[in-house]
A and B are shown apart, each in its own frame.
Chain A
Amino acid sequence: MQAVAIAIPAIYRSTVGKKAVMAVTGGILVLFLVAHMVGNLKIFLGAGDFNHYAEWLRTAGEPAVPHRTVLTLTEVVLTLAVLLHIWSATSLALRARAARPVKYESRKKSHARGYATHTMRYGGVIIALFIIWHLLDLTFYAVNPLGSSATPYDRVIADFAPDRWYITVWYVVAVLLVGLHLWHGAWSAFNSLGWRTKRNDGFLRGLAAVLAVVIAGGFVAVPIAVTFGWVG
């Protein structure tokens, strides 16, 4: 154990270690996204189910633990995961910029056909900005048309009302970027942890693709359905 404790700071400093941190924190965030998406889809079961679920998030674990314990712990873990993920990405991006001070004159051609790969850095920044907006919208209600007095269901319906179509567009674009991020990221994470082999590569690419499509599809469904009046 002592060896592990001593090795940790060195791992963080190395390029391989930073990617391992990104893989682990990314994995935590993917698990969260799946749970978040399943929760969102309860809106199709009606206002009662949706609001009850929102209430349960706050009362889960009671009375064994105080009100909002599980939710607060989740928030702490997610915040740490997001910060470590961004820190690793930024650190590697700065390193990459420093690693090639003189650029090529000829336009650098990409041969690896990785569209999603090239969206990782700027896509990640847009996703981070989206998370800030999303928290201001449906966690702190600062940019929500209704306030804290409304029910969670009504806030979502008001948020994606047809005359606020631009909010729906913003959510859909951000979620599609999350999908692209996962298309590369979920596959790359296995490589970063050293679990990818020639034999399982096809399976891992498929797994990442399914995750990307299911998660993006599941999240896009709610704002689209509200804007087109299929719910609410």
Chain B
Amino acid sequence: MKLTLRIWRQTNASDKGRMVEYKLDDISPDASFLEMLDVLNEQLIAADEEPVAFDHDCREGICGMCSLVINGTPHGPERNTTTCQLHMRKFKDGEVIDVEPWRARAFPVIKDLVVDRSPLDDMIQSGGYISAPTGTAPEAHSVPVPKPDADRAFEAAECIGCGACVAACPNGSAALFLGAKVTALGLMPQGQPERWDRVVSMLDTHDDAGFGGCTLTGECTVACPKGIPLDVISRLNSDYLKATAGGKKK
């Protein structure tokens, strides 16, 4: 395949940045998007140019490291798929492909396509956990969980924390991420002791980080590589209002 790439190049956080065009010949349609970028980088290194910096790790679609807004869509054109699992056969021969980093004030660009997603970690640290004694894991069946709750919690727990929801949201909100964490932990018996503190601290951290507010545009759930459903946001709102206006938070 012949491709024309327009890639965001930015030397560091203080650089203004710009789109730079690259031509690629002879890309296999079976290459993944990241493998295609590897080919480009090998050519750049051979030509003594600076390779394009991008995040990646497992390349199995489960770690949440890969990002990239491809032709205006986070993780590219294929639904429920991370960038690393996206293949070049989904593009046309000769296509011009725009590649940009996640755009959000809370995700400043570190270099090229790499952004700092630590505000998502800050949210987890402020409440996305349960307190459990260390040592031998307790017998899993000792605490019964209703099957529908377990299924919904599992669905929400599929969130890999990549931040595509933020990149897709016209408001730059991380409500889907937040909703996924609050839902997954709040549906489990083990998540109950911290349930009301969790939702308030995590939302405060979210708002302080400079993310926007959710206005239910639904863009996040479409962009989400794990298909986290939009109703986790309703549960986030419900838990937050119960914790604050409802006085559940002690």
Contact = CB atoms under 8 A, between A and B. Distances in A.
B236 interface: yes
B222 A191 contact: no
Contacts of A191: 216, 233-234, 237
B103 interface: yes
A96 B215 CA distance: 10
A95 B237 contact: no
Interface in B176-215: 203-204, 206-207, 210-215
B19 A96 contact: no
Which secondary structure dominates where chain A touches chain B? helix
Interface in A87-120: 92, 95-96, 98-112, 114, 117-118, 120
A182 B245 CA distance: 26
Given A17-B244, A96-B172, A105-B6, A193 B237 contact: yes
Contacts of B236: 16, 194
A7 interface: yes
Interface stretch (B44-52, B69-77, B127-135): B69-77
A20 B222 contact: no
Contact of A110 (B71, B215, B219, B241): B219
B231 A197 contact: yes
Contact of B203 (A15, A187, A190): A15
A196 B234 CA distance: 6
Contacts, number: 155
Interface string A23-35: 0000000000000
A104 B69 contact: yes
Interface string B93-128: 000001010011110000000000000000000000
B240 interface: yes
A62 to B, nearest CB: 37
Given A15-B212, A16-B203, A114-B217, A99 B244 contact: no
B99 to A, nearest CB: 9
Contact of A4 (B204, B216, B222, B245): B245
Interface residues of B, number: 54
Contacts of A4: 245-247
Interface residues of A, number: 50
Nearest to B73: A109
A198 B173 contact: no
A99 to B, nearest CB: 3
Contacts of B207: 13-15
B215 A100 contact: no
B72 A20 contact: no
Interface string B220-239: 01110000010101111111
Contacts of B54: none
B170 interface: yes
Given A98-B105, A106-B98, A196-B234, A92 B215 contact: yes
A195 B242 CA distance: 12
B29 interface: no
A59 interface: no
Interface of B: 6, 8, 17, 19, 69, 71-73, 98, 100, 103-106, 168, 170-173, 175, 203-204, 206-207, 210-219, 221-223, 229, 231, 233-242, 244-247, 249
12 contacts: A4-B245, A7-B244, A15-B206, A15-B207, A16-B241, A99-B105, A108-B170, A111-B222, A117-B215, A191-B234, A191-B237, A197-B231
Interface of A: 1, 3-4, 7-8, 10-11, 13-20, 92, 95-96, 98-112, 114, 117-118, 120, 184, 187-188, 190-198, 201
Given A15-B175, A15-B211, A19-B213, 13 more contacts: A3-B247, A14-B204, A16-B236, A92-B215, A98-B105, A100-B105, A103-B103, A104-B100, A105-B100, A114-B218, A117-B218, A188-B216, A190-B234
Cβ-closest 8 pairs across A and B: A194-B238, A15-B213, A99-B172, A112-B218, A99-B212, A96-B171, A106-B72, A106-B98
